[in-house]
Chain A
Amino acid sequence: MKLTLHVWRQKNAEDRGRMVRYEVPGVNEHMSFLEMLDMLNERLTEKGEDPIAFDHDCREGICGMCGMMINGKAHGGFKGTTVCQLHMRHFKDGDELYLEPWRAAAFPVVKDLAVDRSAFDRIIAAGGFISVPTGSPPDGNAIPVPKEDADLAMDAAACIGCGACVAACPNAAAALFVGAKISHLAHLPQGQPERKRRALAMVRQMNREGFANCSNIGECEAACPKQIKLEVIAQTNERPETVSGGVG
Chain B
Amino acid sequence: MSAAANLPLAQLRFWETTIGKKAIMAVTGFILFGFVVGHLLGNLQIYLPPEKINHYSEALRSVPVLLWGARITLLVSVCLHIWASFALWMLQRAARPIPYVKKSNVHSTYASRTMMWSGPIILAFVIFHLLHFTFGVVHPGGPFDEHNVYNNVVTGFQFWPASLFYIIAMILLCYHLYHGLWSMFQSLGYSHPVYTPWIQRIAKVVAILIAVGYISIPVSVLAGFIKPV
Given contacts A72-B104, A98-B102, A172-B92, contact A234 B189 (CB under 8 A): yes
Contact in complex: B9, A247 (CB < 8 Å): yes
Contact in complex: A222, B106 (CB < 8 Å): yes
Contacts of A204 in B (CB 8 A): 4-5, 7, 9, 12, 17
Q: Tell me the complex Cα distance, A210–B103, Å.
A: 21
Q: B1 near A: Cβ within 8 Å?
A: yes
Q: A32 near B: Cβ within 8 Å?
A: no
Q: B95 near A: Cβ within 8 Å?
A: yes
Q: B36 near A: Cβ within 8 Å?
A: no
Q: B44 near A: Cβ within 8 Å?
A: no
Q: Tell me the complex Cα distance, A167–B193, Å.
A: 24
What would 19 A/B residue contacts be, using CB atoms closer than 8 Å?
A: A71-B104, A72-B100, A172-B96, A200-B12, A203-B17, A206-B18, A207-B2, A207-B4, A210-B94, A210-B95, A211-B18, A215-B88, A229-B191, A230-B186, A234-B185, A237-B19, A242-B19, A243-B17, A243-B23
Contacts of A28 in B (CB 8 A): none
Number of B residues contacting the other chain (C-beta, 8 Å)? 54
Closest 4 CB pairs of A and B: A238-B189, A234-B191, A222-B107, A213-B18
Partner of A247, one of B1, B10, B23: B10
Given contacts A230-B191, A234-B191, A245-B14, contact A213 B96 (CB under 8 A): no
Contact in complex: B191, A105 (CB < 8 Å): no
Contacts of A73 in B (CB 8 A): 104, 106
Given contacts A6-B101, A212-B88, contact A219 B107 (CB under 8 A): yes
Contacts of A114 in B (CB 8 A): none
Q: Would you give the shortest CB distance from A2 to chain B, in whole angstroms?
A: 20
Q: Tell me the complex Cα distance, A203–B18, Å.
A: 8
Q: CB within 8 Å of B: which residues of A?
A: 6, 8, 19, 69, 71-73, 77, 98, 100, 103-106, 168, 170-173, 197, 200-201, 203-204, 206-219, 221-223, 229-231, 233-239, 242-247
Contacts of B105 in A (CB 8 A): 170, 219
B window 25-41: CB within 8 A of A: none
Chain B positions 114 through 148: 1 when the CB is less than 8 Å from some CB of chain A, otherwise 0: 01000000000000000000000000000000000
Contacts of A98 in B (CB 8 A): 101-102
Q: Tell me the complex Cα distance, A234–B179, Å.
A: 16
Contact in complex: A215, B115 (CB < 8 Å): yes
Q: Tell me the complex Cα distance, A237–B19, Å.
A: 6
User: Which chain A residue has the least Cβ–Cβ distance from B96?
Assistant: A172
Partner of B102, one of A100, A234, A238: A100
Contact in complex: A216, B186 (CB < 8 Å): yes
Q: Would you give the shortest CB distance from B118 to chain A, in whole angstroms?
A: 13
Contacts of B185 in A (CB 8 A): 234
Contact in complex: B186, A234 (CB < 8 Å): yes
Q: B22 near A: Cβ within 8 Å?
A: yes
Q: Would you give the shortest CB distance from A170 to chain B, in whole angstroms?
A: 6
Q: Would you give the shortest CB distance from B80 to chain A, in whole angstroms?
A: 15
Contact in complex: A69, B100 (CB < 8 Å): yes
Contacts of A171 in B (CB 8 A): 91-92, 95-96
B window 159-216: CB within 8 A of A: 179, 182-183, 185-193, 196
Q: Tell me the complex Cα distance, A95–B187, Å.
A: 40
Q: Would you give the shortest CB distance from A98 to chain B, in whole angstroms?
A: 4
Q: Tell me the complex Cα distance, A100–B5, Å.
A: 29
Q: Tell me the complex Cα distance, A73–B101, Å.
A: 11
Q: Tell me the complex Cα distance, A98–B13, Å.
A: 42
Partner of A237, one of B6, B9, B189: B189
Contact in complex: A223, B193 (CB < 8 Å): no
Q: Tell me the complex Cα distance, A247–B9, Å.
A: 7
